[in-house]
């Protein structure tokens, strides 16, 4: 199974009159992420489901991804991907989507980076920038097995060089 970990695109700054849950994407954030989503579409990437945090900025990012991929599958809003997402919540999502070949998970930092770091068996999290996508391949049926890093995409560019110590097989 392939897992596409997607950090939401750039949103308006914290503070002010908009509560955190309602912070929305900036125009620059939308444009930047659309480049990444369009590049994913050109590569023929289509997950079986797109699952997103319920926070507005994540939902908007998921919508851009869905539109760019001409996605016709399930777009699911899940509280599991809200801030405080962890490995246990990922496992619950995977059980719910058993038998799928690819899932896009749209969420937040530092949670996504921590889970990616654990799956790759790194000594520390692998932080995701706003609008970044990290593709991991998970071995079938082995929940404790190490994932492998397939690629990283940011601002429309695929980054093929993995971080030191990251399994790419």
Mean pLDDT by 10 residues, the chain (169 residues): 97 92 97 96 95 98 98 94 97 93 97 96 94 92 76 85 51
Phi/psi at 167 (5° precision): -70, 125
Task: Please check whether residue 29 is in contact with residue 129, taking contact to mean a CB–CB distance below 8 angstroms.
Answer: no
Query: What stretch of H or E contains 53?
Result: none
pTM, two decimal places: 0.92
Q: At what angle do helices 27-42 and 56-68 cross, to 10 degrees?
A: 40
Torsion of CA 89, 101, 48, 30, to 10 degrees: 70
CATH class of the 2-159 domain in this structure: alpha beta
């Amino acid at each position: 199974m392939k897992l596409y970990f997607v950090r939401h695109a750039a949103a308006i700054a914290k503070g002010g009159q908009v509560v955190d849950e309602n912070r929305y994407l900036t125009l620059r954030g939308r444009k930047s992420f659309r480049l990444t989503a369009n590049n994913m579409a050109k590569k023929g990437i289509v997950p079986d489901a797109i699952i997103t945090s319920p926070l507005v900025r994540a939902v908007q990012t998921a919508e851009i991804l869905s539109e760019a991929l001409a996605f016709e599958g399930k777009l699911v809003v899940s509280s599991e991907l809200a801030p405080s997402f962890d490995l246990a919540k990922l496992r619950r999502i995977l059980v719910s989507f058993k038998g799928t070949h690819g899932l896009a998970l749209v969420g937040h930092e530092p949670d996504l980076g921590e889970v990616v770091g654990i799956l790759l068996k790194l000594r520390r999290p692998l932080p995701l920038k706003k609008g970044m996508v990290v593709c991991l391949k998970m071995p079938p049926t082995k929940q404790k097995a190490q994932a492998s890093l397939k690629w990283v995409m940011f601002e429309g560019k695929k980054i093929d060089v993995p971080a030191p110590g990251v399994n790419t097989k």
